[in-house]
């Protein structure tokens, strides 16, 4: 597994990394996140997953994923995940944002994204960047591998 640190036993009988992957999606992007996770289910099942309430409930119901849920984003869930970033409990953030719709809790979203940057936690806001993150997790990118993604096309 790409992430290191203390492990915890998962329900499937194998050790899961202590740090979790945070999964969040604005309402208009939840279906897109579900589709992305369907493609990466086997890999994601190896990790501890944490999500805001609406996203987590959808993932548990549609994909039978084991997800730890915090509050919904507007009810403080974004801030709870931000606190987990500060505490070193989050390995990466997959947050499919909706840039075309105004969000009532946009200041919470900005704070979460700021904390990921400040604490050097990799994050993705769309399927393409999430694909790259899952393929080349933090600390695993080698110069040759990184340059292969930029082949000039």
pLDDT (tens, 9 = 90+) of the chain, 153 residues, equals: 332 333 344 445 556 777 999 999 999 999 999 999 999 999 998 899 999 999 999 999 999 999 999 999 889 999 999 999 999 999 999 999 987 776 766 778 899 999 999 999 999 999 999 999 988 655 443 333 443 443 433
Q: How far apart are CA 96 and CA 26, in angstroms?
A: 6
**DSSP strand pairing (15-17 vs 7-9):** antiparallel
Of 24, 20, 21, nearest in space to 78 by CA: 24
User: Catalytic positions, please?
Assistant: 78
Q: How far apart are CA 153 and CA 139, in angstroms?
A: 26
Coil, strand or helix at 9:
strand
Helix (H) or strand (E) holding 127: helix 127-135
Give the pLDDT confidence score for residue 9 in this predicted structure. Answer: 45
On whether the CB atoms of residues 21 and 85 are closer than 8 A, the answer is: no
For 13, the token pair is 């009988």
């Amino acid at each position: 597994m790409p992430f290191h640190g203390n492990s915890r036993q998962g329900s499937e009988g194998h050790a899961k990394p202590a740090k979790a992957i945070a999964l969040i999606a604005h309402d208009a992007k939840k279906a897109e996140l579900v589709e992305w996770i369907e493609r990466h289910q086997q890999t994601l099942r190896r990790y501890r997953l944490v999500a805001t309430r609406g996203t987590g409930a959808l993932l548990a119901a549609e994909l039978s994923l084991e997800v730890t849920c915090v509050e919904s984003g507007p009810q403080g869930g974004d801030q709870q995940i931000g606190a987990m970033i500060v505490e070193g409990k989050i390995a990466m953030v997959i947050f499919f944002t909706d840039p075309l719709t105004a969000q009532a809790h946009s200041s919470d979203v900005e704070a979460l994204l700021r904390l990921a940057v400040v604490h050097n936690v990799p994050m993705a806001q769309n399927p393409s960047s999430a694909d790259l993150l899952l393929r080349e997790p933090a600390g695993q990118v080698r110069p040759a591998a990184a340059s292969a993604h930029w082949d000039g096309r």
